[in-house]
Amino acid sequence: MTLETFWFILIAVLWTAYLMLEGFDFGVGMLLGIFGRDAEGEDGATRRRVLLNAIGPFWDGNEVWLLTAGGATFAAFPAWYASMFSGFYLAFLLVLVALILRNMGLEYRHKRHGETWQRRWDAIIVTCSVIAPLLVGTALTNLVRGVPLNKAGDFTGTLLTLLNPWSLLGGLTILALSLTHGCFFIALKTDGQVRRDARALGTKAGLVSAVLAVVLLGWVDLHTGTTWSWITSAVAAVALLGALAANLRGREGFAFSGTMLTIGMAVATYFVALFPDVMPSTTNAAYSLTVDNASSSHLTLQIMTGAAVVMTPVVIGYSAWNYWVFRKRISTSTLPTKHDPLAPLPPSESLQEAGR
Amino acid sequence: MSNLDLARWQFAITTVYHFLFVPITIGLSAMVAGFETQWLRGRNPEMLRLAKFFGKLLLINFALGLVTGIVQEFQFGMNWSAYSRFFGDIFGAPLAFEALLAFFLESTFLGVWIFGWGRIPEKAHAACMWLVHIGTLLSAYFILAANSFMQHPVGWKYNATTGRAELTDFVAVLTNKVQLVTFPHVVASAYLVGGGVVMGVGLWLLHKHRGTKDSLMYRKAARIGAVVTLLAGAGVAVTGDTQGKIMTEVQPMKMAAAEALYTTQDHCAAFSLFTIGSLNGQSQKAAVKVPCVLSFLATGSFEGKVDGIDDLKASLPAQLQKQARAEGVPAAYSQPADAVYTPNIPLAYWSFRLMIGVGMTSTIVALGVLWVTRKGRTALAKPWVWAGIAVPLLPVLGNSFGWIFTETGRQPWLVYGVMSTKTGVSGNGAGTVLTSMVVFTLLYAALAVVEVRLFLDYTRRGADPAPPDPDAASTDEHDTPAPVSFVY
């Protein structure tokens, strides 16, 4: 295997890890809008806190996989990075705005007590948790499908070129998978009514995802697929059905692992179908960016390989520790009482009293 | 405005905005880690209260620093795709290293720190904040290495077959002499900001709580902040001085522009404190100058020769073109088409002065704070309270001026002498770039309002009271987590 191929695989792994991990916190973000209302004996505000606390320690670290995927693409395939980000300009602008607002919502929502304040941030979190996976899915599908690139590697289409039926189907599939994944995560991480609701919704969302994913992956395999992409697609389909079955039997850990594998294999299908291109040109096949013509020099790839080999296990190690530390289920009953972070403080002792 | 102008404006806005938050994060994470460690050593509940209080301010600020950093990373591909293609082989690696070594560390351990109170051992909890701080430093190192390459390209060669610049020596890129002075300078400036925030907030709360027991705690914070500000100020001065000499060596035009020095001074060049009138070399109305100081700043000797703009304009282009030709870089990349070889002089002149001025002012205020709070004094005169409010702002602005100076002083090149700014821009239409510039600027403005309000509200409220029994906050393995201050 050449270094270029190795780096193609690594970037595929980074994108896969990103969607497998942030997928569930996107899903939970959407659930905020679905489960965030009053339900049997539980008030909506507390339910929203349960959902947010479930992803609280994780979502920020999950997002770093995207930044690493971007950075690694820049370092290992500069021409790909340049064409992709300048070509998908407005789409990425929207993704960035969605991610920025979503992050701010997750960080700032709890910093103030007011009803209006929290409602507004909730709306932002929900909206952005829908937009981000939708657009990331759209962009990745366009990548596999090919876009008009000229000889210099510059995108010659418009925003509408990117919004074609297949790419939109790709966006919807990633969206539905994220929602299912988020449901299973919540089912695994919480207790009480929220957990039961998540299981019920997970089944419905899972069935929709299954239909979308089968059509999408089937098309990808017919479009540029290989034997391997058929295999990964098949594994994705089986994993999703397995996840649904596990969910029905109340095996939440298996259900969550199942959607994890589904998303992993779906993204793997994309990259297997893409290889050896990294960004096919629909204008002229000769203009396509490939692992060979878009890659960095050998020296850069070697240095990056050294860093990746040493650092990836370390990163995975402490991320795993993070998930281990916060492994307990939370529910409306175990959540500490809500407090106003800006509530007035009791008057502090005066110096004279303290001196006495 | 052209696509190029808009892309430059957008880069400037994004960078300056991002860098308002970065130094606060670097400086404050160290201060919070320090407070928490002090608490572990002495079990003084005030230290825990300060750690939690400044921790909240850190989090409010970290959120914005992070999201603006995301835009920064993708902006190279969006707006500067020709640059990314040409220099990605070298420039991409430090960015990828930053993500792999620094971002994961910061994000993961900050998450553990926020939610980990009472769930992990206390020492591990404090270690999390130190890891966050180490992450910020690593982040700074790699980003500054990438920037230093643009200021002074080393460890690369032009490959005529692939038509791009390629890496030849990564160690050289990481130990670029510009980098070796820039990193300590930027980190010292970040500590200046961290110290300034703690000092200013401490002073203000000390005044607000005067006469109460809490005033002693805020006095302590103000004094610790002042000591950090002083030490950092000394560090900023020393590293800045060294940096000036390296800059004169590798980018003589930048130093000349910083001084608006038009004619070469063979010895004893004067440092201009300020100038009234135009900086075009002809119609200067008045200027206050300190003899020989510029020579010292630029060369380390009061007798050193400093080149002026006019002379550099005559000699520099030929010299740089010769270098670029020797590297084999096509003239289309290395020569600014309109043959402008000087940066914007007034911008360089004033940003350089403001950078130094605000840095020095904050150090002087820190000295004053140590004086007025000596020997247990807690009663402050009003001006010191105002100083407390101004002081955190000054070094933050100083950092911005520093970046404006160093980045605009490099113009007209993206990579000094090798790639002109004009040739690096993406082919996107001006409308596209304008759209994103407007969107980001409006978004940034709105978020700035939110963040400043939150920051002020939390500052005004002050530190939470000490927990009734600090031992109760130790690790518990029960199913019901103890109510902790940071849970959402």
pLDDT at A183 over 70: yes
Among A68, A96, A334, the residue with its CB nearest the CB of B481 is A334
Alpha-carbon distance A109 to nearest alpha carbon in chain B (angstroms): 9
> Which chain B residues touch A109 with a CB distance below 8 Å?
488
User: Residue B281: what pLDDT?
Assistant: 65
Alpha-carbon distance A277 to nearest alpha carbon in chain B (angstroms): 17
Among B70, B85, B162, the residue with its CB nearest the CB of A100 is B70
Q: Could you tell me if B262 and B297 are in contact, meaning their C-beta atoms sit under 8 angstroms apart?
A: no
How far apart CA B367 and CA A108 sit, in angstroms, is 36
> Which chain A residues touch B487 with a CB distance below 8 Å?
53, 56, 335-336
Indicate which of A15, A150, A342, A351 best probes the interface with B, i.e. most B CBs within 10 Å of its own CB. A351
How far apart CA B33 and CA B305 sit, in angstroms, is 46
Alpha-carbon distance A199 to nearest alpha carbon in chain B (angstroms): 23
> Which chain A residues touch B164 with a CB distance below 8 Å?
78
If one counts the domains in chain A, the total is: 1
Among B103, B115, B447, the residue with its CB nearest the CB of A57 is B115
> Which chain A residues touch B120 with a CB distance below 8 Å?
325
Is B302 part of the contact surface with chain A (CB cutoff 8 Å)? no
User: CA-based angle B147:B150:B156, to the nearest 5?
Assistant: 115
Three-state SS for B292?
A: coil
When mean pLDDT is compared across A144-153, A195-204, A227-236, B326-335, the lowest value belongs to B326-335
Among B92, B101, B480, the residue with its CB nearest the CB of A311 is B101
Indicate which of B4, B83, B98, B100 best probes the interface with A, i.e. most A CBs within 10 Å of its own CB. B100
CB contact under 8 A, B73 and A304: no
Taking the C-alpha atoms of B474, B478, B483 and B484 in order, what is their torsion angle to the nearest 10 degrees?
40
Q: Could you tell me if B222 and B199 are in contact, meaning their C-beta atoms sit under 8 angstroms apart?
A: yes
For residue B99, give the DSSP letter.
I
User: Residue B285: what pLDDT?
Assistant: 64
Residue of A nearest to B78 (CA): A86
User: Residue B487: what pLDDT?
Assistant: 62
Among B166, B462, B481, the residue with its CB nearest the CB of A345 is B462
Query: At which residue do the structure tokens 């282009």 appear?
Result: B317
Is B98 part of the contact surface with chain A (CB cutoff 8 Å)? yes
Among B81, B213, B439, the residue with its CB nearest the CB of A93 is B439
* Helix or strand (DSSP H, E) at B159: strand B156-159
Q: What is the pTM of this model?
A: 0.92
Residue of A nearest to B173 (CA): A300
Taking the C-alpha atoms of B428, B432, B434 and B440 in order, what is their torsion angle to the nearest 10 degrees?
-110
> Which chain A residues touch B159 with a CB distance below 8 Å?
297
Q: Which residues contact B244 (CB under 8 A, 6 or more apart)?
A: B255, B297, B298
For residue A250, give its domain range: 3-354
> Which chain A residues touch B145 with a CB distance below 8 Å?
none
Residue of B nearest to A118 (CA): B488
Q: Could you tell me if B345 and B257 are in contact, meaning their C-beta atoms sit under 8 angstroms apart?
A: yes
Among B67, B167, B216, the residue with its CB nearest the CB of A297 is B167
> Which chain A residues touch B63 with a CB distance below 8 Å?
103-104, 107-108
Sign of CA dihedral A144, A301, B96, A87: negative
User: How confident is the model over A16-38, as a mean pLDDT?
Assistant: 93
Indicate which of B73, B79, B81 best probes the interface with A, i.e. most A CBs within 10 Å of its own CB. B81
Is B287 part of the contact surface with chain A (CB cutoff 8 Å)? no
Indicate which of B52, B74, B138 best probes the interface with A, i.e. most A CBs within 10 Å of its own CB. B74
Three-state SS for B287?
A: strand
CB contact under 8 A, B212 and A60: no
Tokens of A135: 């657009």
CB contact under 8 A, A336 and B481: yes
pLDDT tens, N- to C-terminus, chain B (488 residues): 889 999 999 999 999 999 999 999 999 999 999 999 999 998 899 999 999 999 999 999 998 998 888 888 899 999 999 999 999 999 999 999 999 999 999 999 999 999 998 889 999 999 999 999 999 999 999 999 999 999 999 999 999 888 899 999 999 999 999 999 999 999 999 999 999 999 999 999 988 888 888 888 999 999 999 999 999 999 999 999 899 889 988 988 888 888 888 888 888 888 888 787 777 766 666 778 888 888 888 888 888 888 888 888 888 888 888 888 888 888 888 877 666 778 888 889 889 989 999 888 989 999 988 888 888 777 777 888 888 888 888 899 999 999 999 998 888 889 998 898 988 999 888 889 999 999 999 999 999 999 999 999 999 999 888 776 545 444 444 444 444 445 66
Is B97 part of the contact surface with chain A (CB cutoff 8 Å)? yes
Is B466 part of the contact surface with chain A (CB cutoff 8 Å)? no
CB contact under 8 A, A97 and B447: no
Three-state SS for A326?
A: coil
User: How confident is the model over A286-303, as a mean pLDDT?
Assistant: 92
Alpha-carbon distance B240 to nearest alpha carbon in chain A (angstroms): 30
Q: In whole numbers, what is the pLDDT of chain A averaged over residues?
A: 91
Q: Which residues of B397-429 are buried (b: 16+ CB within 10 A; e: fewer)?
A: bbbbbbbbbbbbbbbbbbbbbbbbbbbbbbebe
Among B96, B212, B432, the residue with its CB nearest the CB of A350 is B212
Q: B331-336: which pairs have CB atoms within 8 A and are 24 or more residues apart?
A: B332/B423, B333/B86, B333/B418, B333/B419, B333/B420, B333/B423, B334/B417, B334/B418, B334/B419, B334/B420, B335/B420, B336/B412, B336/B413, B336/B420, B336/B421, B336/B422
Among B88, B426, B480, the residue with its CB nearest the CB of A86 is B426
> Which chain A residues touch B55 with a CB distance below 8 Å?
none
Greater model confidence, B274 or A283: A283
> Which chain A residues touch B214 with a CB distance below 8 Å?
348
User: Residue B435: what pLDDT?
Assistant: 92
Quote ipTM for the complex: 0.91
CB contact under 8 A, A49 and B212: no
Q: Which residues of B168-189 are buried (b: 16+ CB within 10 A; e: fewer)?
A: eebeebbebebbbbbbbbbbbb
Q: Which residues of A177-200 are buried (b: 16+ CB within 10 A; e: fewer)?
A: bbbbbbbbbbbbbbbbbbbebbbe
CB contact under 8 A, A84 and B77: yes
